[in-house]
A and B are shown apart, each in its own frame.
Chain A
């Protein structure tokens, strides 16, 4: 059979290429441009090579922010994933309560980030907030504007409140796709509840769970608005995560070179972790 080669169809891709160029590639290249040069305004640039990268990688401030970021993401994943799975497992599969549960679960996801931050800020205020006031009147010394531990706790709980639902909904969808026959077979085979979870539910949830963890990782690693509204990165720098720090350097101090270098490093870190995680999770799928 003769294959006619006509490559005109490629032209149809052009609009997408233009779109991607304008909203991703060109801005990224601008950042690369800034990261390699020094400027004092008026569009005058001086070549700096990798100086900014070296400076960022050696700076204690960056190390601390990265560490805080890793700690924060680690903590919220460690709480949200098991919590999300167990909530999904205990949700009803059929009956009138299904839709009630789904709506309740979806509610936090619909609230804008800055509103969540403001809500929790007021909720947690030690003198007038419901949470802050109750904790203090129960005898706990709680003040998230002054104590690093309180500030961290509040930020983590806020994120758990906002985003656990995402994991719940994804896992629930995974669970609902398991045919009844699997549960029946497990009962015939005498499987314990743990074995059912380990060998039926978890494997069937694996794909959605991978996506859920990836989404939560990326999102929490780039978290900005909620802690910015809640604590503003304080007290001191204790809740200054990477993107808050980045904005401080770029827009507060207007150090465009180091900020650009930092955002590139930041971008590569996210990319690297996502790639490594996804590769490991999907390694066995191919067989």
Chain B
């Protein structure tokens, strides 16, 4: 087990000559504390898998340094890093039985056979594979094969970290919940660092203590699910987390106060800050409500989702989504809305601006 640290890590995949270098990872500085349960969240193609492969040593980063417990491992081969990794699509050794598949990582490291048996039985029990241990792995369904892949990741006890690369993609929804809670349970039991890659926010928020949000090759925010929800540091986080995502609206600035639709909003921002460039406010649909005196809007669409309703309104060309309770009435004539000032954030070139009193 160990603490994993990224120092100025960048990576670019080989490219045809003559084209500008495109970084799949753009300067990542990040510490993964020993024993943490992390979720790595981001859309497809944002560099999540690249980051995992850099940790496990399947890729050597173009620049920067990886440290395990303050020891540089950047050039260390995969086998010596003692990282377990589970891939998105099942990988099984077809000619072996389920048992031999699970035992493979242990036997490769010359563990005594009695101990191998013990470990494999334990893991098979956990993954519900006990009755199929002596079948050939090639005969299993996709679910079963992915369970074997998971099992091979979990079977070693001496690993520094376990990495999951969207491991439950091919698995049935009901089994997904079950397996995810088993992983969570296992994490609490053995306390090894786990990093779970996903593009599904529910999956990330239920699995992890800390969520690392990636966007376009960089880590944009690290925090608990609550922090990500309440205080997105980057407009992307606001938009990506929550359903529907945060409203991001262009705004002006007057005396350190953001202005939207001739309304002064929120409290003061440091007057000396250089805020030339793109300025936006971010407000979550949960904190927009109807009122008697506010921003005039037109109602475009109402979606009833059972326990609440999503209302899309517009002011001039800006669309704003709001979330209101099932029983709340929607005004029919000249509706007005207000933003809750405590939950309003100002973004400068997509990054949050700290308030003066914060």
Give A residues with C-beta under 8 Å from B. Answer: 179, 181-182, 184-185, 187-192, 195, 199-200, 203-204, 284, 287
Q: Are A185 and B87 in contact (CB under 8 A)?
A: yes
A94 to chain B, nearest CB (A): 10
B139 interfacial by beta-carbon distance below 8 Å = yes
Q: What residues on A are CB-neighbors of B136 within 8 Å? A: 284, 287
Q: Give the nearest-CB partner of A189 in chain B.
A: B105
Q: What residues on A are CB-neighbors of B60 within 8 Å? A: none
- B84, B108, B152: the one within 8 Å of A195 (CB): B108
Q: What residues on B are CB-neighbors of A203 within 8 Å? A: 93-95
B108 to chain A, nearest CB (A): 4
Q: What residues on B are CB-neighbors of A190 within 8 Å? A: 79, 105, 108-109
A91 to chain B, nearest CB (A): 20
Q: What residues on B are CB-neighbors of A185 within 8 Å? A: 85, 87, 91, 149, 152
Interface string of B69-102 (1 = CB under 8 A from A): 0000000011100011101010101111000000
B56 interfacial by beta-carbon distance below 8 Å = yes
Q: Give the nearest-CB partner of A200 in chain B.
A: B93
Q: Are B78 and A188 in contact (CB under 8 A)?
A: yes
Q: Give the nearest-CB partner of B108 in chain A.
A: A190
Q: What residues on A are CB-neighbors of B53 within 8 Å? A: 184
- B95, B138, B152: the one within 8 Å of A189 (CB): B152
How many B residues touch A, CB cutoff 8 Å?
A: 27
A188 to chain B, nearest CB (A): 5
Q: What 5 A-B pairs have minimum CB-CB distances, sorted nearest first? A: A190-B108, A185-B91, A189-B105, A187-B78, A190-B79
Q: Are A187 and B58 in contact (CB under 8 A)?
A: yes
B260 interfacial by beta-carbon distance below 8 Å = no
What is the bound-complex CA distance between A191 and B100, given in angstroms? 13
What is the bound-complex CA distance between A192 and B108, given in angstroms? 8
Q: Are A188 and B83 in contact (CB under 8 A)?
A: yes
Instruction: Evaluate whether A188 and B84 lie within 8 angstroms (CB atoms) in the complex, with A195-B108, A203-B95, A287-B136 already known.
Output: yes
Q: What residues on A are CB-neighbors of B56 within 8 Å? A: 188
Instruction: Evaluate whether A199 and B95 lie within 8 angstroms (CB atoms) in the complex, with A188-B56, A190-B108, A287-B139 already known.
Output: yes
Q: What residues on B are CB-neighbors of A199 within 8 Å? A: 93, 95-96, 104
- B85, B89, B93, B138: the one within 8 Å of A188 (CB): B85
A179 to chain B, nearest CB (A): 8
Q: Give the nearest-CB partner of B93 in chain A.
A: A199
Q: What residues on A are CB-neighbors of B83 within 8 Å? A: 188
Q: What residues on B are CB-neighbors of A284 within 8 Å? A: 136
B36 to chain A, nearest CB (A): 20
Instruction: Evaluate whether A184 and B79 lie within 8 angstroms (CB atoms) in the complex, with A192-B108, A203-B94 already known.
Output: no
> Which B28-73 residues have a C-beta within 8 angstroms of A?
53, 56-58
Q: What residues on A are CB-neighbors of B85 within 8 Å? A: 184-185, 188
What is the bound-complex CA distance between A188 and B77, given in angstroms? 10
What is the bound-complex CA distance between A63 and B316, given in angstroms? 98
Q: Give the nearest-CB partner of A190 in chain B.
A: B108
B277 to chain A, nearest CB (A): 42
Q: What residues on B are CB-neighbors of A191 within 8 Å? A: 104, 108
Q: Are A181 and B91 in contact (CB under 8 A)?
A: yes
Q: Give the nearest-CB partner of B163 in chain A.
A: A188
